[in-house]
Structure 1
């Protein structure tokens, strides 16, 4: 049987009215209960202050240390499961760590003068709405390492003076719109080590004074959108490591003009787009360690002209090529440690980083090759750490070793021979001064195994000369002598014909002069002149003795070039 429509409507209205009345009564009861709690708390506080003597304003729990002069209470590891309500109501610093507190009840309203509250390492699961509405003077709130799974825009109502909020190590999965809008003065927000995988575009709305943001060690799969960062124009430090980004898109940080520190350690990066770092002109510190980068992102890093410190270890690149860090003119400290595939550092790798002071290339188990000019052109380099690599030898001209303040080549399979004499001399000279360099242990040859290089003499290293300057002088002399002899030989070879002609001409003139004296009385002036014109035609024939008019024995000569012979009878 169906009821008339009018009766159905009447019943529905009655039900709605009953529900509304019930809700109203519930709200009224809640308000009345809150008011009653507040009234009771005020009465208890007033009664407590009136009854308690001035010398003992508080009842300190046995597990706590209370100081009524400094208004500080510290409760160490203990069994507290609720906030005590018998502490000094004018308390300013309250630290209750490593206890079993599961919720923050109304007892917190007794301490309206708090400036610092630390409830870390407890068992907090939820934070009721308006939990901190009476802590209007609170400046730091530490709720890290609890089990808090959700927060909303009503959780932190009343914390208008808060500057530091620490929620690290909880179970937060998402950040809703306007979650932190009530805390306009906050400067540091730590949301690291949670399970955050979704951030509302307006979650950080109102954080105009935020300077440091931790979002590391969460489950984010992409870098937060640029619109999210627009809400924090004064952000200086951003931690996004230990997530699963894979890549950084272009202009991801374009609105963070004031960022000076960016931590992307362990973010799962395989590559970085060329313009990913645009907008970070003021960045001073960048951590890209513990990622999956197969090549050094030279193009992306080239935008960071003011970068001073770069960490790039534990990646998958094999070579540090020439100009790998081009554009980073202000780079002062570079660490590439634990890169398990790194094999070679090539010439000119740091030629654009003339301000480099500290270089750490340690714990790269496959690094065998640091080319001779890989570290050239670095006048300010003072600290070099090359320990725990696979280096067998190093060239003396690698860097200006004499200016080193820190040099660590330990735990390398160094071959101690004459090529390492320069390093032995450097270790001896530096360790006798104020600078102390870590000694080098030899791997081979066998008699020197596991012995320090500095203790071996040049002769033991197989060097024939003890002084490197002496060796250099000998080399210079040998080179100059060889060059001189070679030059003379080439000169003689080129002028051999002229020298031969000069020698022949000299001998012929001598013979001619001797014969001229012999034939001075046998030749006429005309014939003598004829012979003088052809000195090279003079030849001696077999002699026939004859007697001159003066009574001397003379020897006739062969006629010159068609001139008649002189009969003996005509003389």
Structure 2
């Protein structure tokens, strides 16, 4: 009997030794190597899994747990970390030196936490390229989050409580290629807010409270190819809004308050250009002439073309714009 107890004790000891070794893995986590990836997704996890975390970990994903705090000393045990995913946890704050000991970190995803206020320099300690702060409780974006000339190429601030975005913050992000500000409470954009974003290719402003846009708001974003403006309160758009933007291939304007488009706004678009115009209160009178003609000539460029319908006048309500005649629009009276 004593021999069996001794053998069992030896087996347990060897298991614990191996767990501390190069093939260790924290409790409540799963590990794969190579590449060195650690995924922790158990709701019973309440603390950062320091014990057993391989020092050569390159991807660490802690998702849908009860983790409520994280520090720089926690991350110091994984100095080769490249991708840190901390989504759907219970983080309410971050220390300003959080990224101090992970100089190779490329991607940080903090989706679905409870972050409200972020300290200055929180994201200034690494060569971070992708930062996702989606679906938190952030009310104010601060220029002091970053150092000047940040290497960031992707910033997602969607699903927060922002009422504005300071131009000083975006001026520190000259390498930005994708900016997502959707589903906030933005009512306006500063005239020069996007001025320094010469590499910007995708801009998402959907789901805000924008009622108008300055004619030159995108004048410095010549590489822009995707522009999401749907689900706002836009009542009209400048005729020159897309001037100087030859690469725009996707424009979403659905679910706004647009009644007409000014003449020339959609001119000189690429053959691959696509637009959505549905769920706007289009008024089908003589001011609809430009859009009506454009739709007739470019039906292949319009997604859900048959759903672009008249909200007025009463006699044309619910009619497809493309089905109208010049006479019905009152053009024969001009």
Structure 1 counterpart of 2:47: 150
Runs (5+) with no aligned partner, structure 2: 1-5
Structure 1 counterpart of 2:11: 40
Determine helix, strand or coil for the equivalent of 1:337: coil
Structure 1 counterpart of 2:61: 166
Report 1:299-338 matches (<5 A): 299-325=192-218, 327-338=220-231
Structure 2 Cα separation of the partners of residues 426 and 135 of structure 1: 55
Q: Normalization by structure 1: what TM-score? A: 0.49
Structure 2 counterpart of 1:409: 277
- The Cα offsets for residues 280-324 of structure 1, whole Å up to 9 and x where unpaired, read as 221211122222334313444333332222222333443312333
Structure 2 Cα separation of the partners of residues 303 and 369 of structure 1: 26
Structure 2 Cα separation of the partners of residues 189 and 262 of structure 1: 15
Structure 2 Cα separation of the partners of residues 422 and 135 of structure 1: 58
- The Cα offsets for residues 499-518 of structure 1, whole Å up to 9 and x where unpaired, read as xxxxxxxxxxxxxxxxxxxx
Structure 2 counterpart of 1:449: 317
Structure 2 counterpart of 1:48: none
Cα displacement (A) at 1:213? 0.8
Cα displacement (A) at 1:253? 0.8
In the alignment, structure 1 residue 395 sits paired with structure 2 residue 265: no
> Do the aligned partners of 1:188 and 1:211 also contact (CA within 8 Å) in 2?
yes
Structure 2 Cα separation of the partners of residues 136 and 425 of structure 1: 59
Structure 2 Cα separation of the partners of residues 413 and 147 of structure 1: 50
Q: Which is further off, 204-213 or 162-171?
A: 204-213
Structure 1 Cα separation of the partners of residues 221 and 269 of structure 2: 26
Structure 2 counterpart of 1:254: 147
- From 132, 141, 152, the equivalent of 2:38 is 141
Structure 2 Cα separation of the partners of residues 146 and 264 of structure 1: 25
Structure 2 counterpart of 1:222: 117
Determine helix, strand or coil for the equivalent of 1:148: coil
Structure 2 Cα separation of the partners of residues 155 and 369 of structure 1: 58
Structure 2 counterpart of 1:486: none
Structure 2 counterpart of 1:357: none
Structure 2 counterpart of 1:534: none
Cα displacement (A) at 1:167? 0.5
Structure 2 Cα separation of the partners of residues 178 and 168 of structure 1: 20
Report 1:372-387 matches (<5 A): 372-387=239-254
- Bigger RCO (CA 8 Å, 6+ sep): 2
Count of residue pairs the alignment pairs up: 326
Runs (5+) with no aligned partner, structure 1: 1-34, 44-104, 118-125, 343-366, 466-470, 472-571
Structure 1 pair 108/338, CA: closer, same or farther in 2 (3 Å)?
Answer: farther
Structure 1 pair 256/263, CA: closer, same or farther in 2 (3 Å)?
Answer: farther
Structure 1 pair 390/171, CA: closer, same or farther in 2 (3 Å)?
Answer: same
**Structure of higher CA gyration radius:** 1
Structure 1 pair 386/294, CA: closer, same or farther in 2 (3 Å)?
Answer: closer
Instruction: Supply the RMSD in Å over aligned alpha carbons.
Output: 3.9
Determine helix, strand or coil for the equivalent of 1:199: coil
Cα displacement (A) at 1:238? 1.0
Structure 1 pair 167/282, CA: closer, same or farther in 2 (3 Å)?
Answer: same
- From 182, 193, 214, the equivalent of 1:289 is 182
Structure 1 pair 175/112, CA: closer, same or farther in 2 (3 Å)?
Answer: closer
- From 162, 165, 170, the equivalent of 1:277 is 170
> Do the aligned partners of 1:287 and 1:311 also contact (CA within 8 Å) in 2?
yes
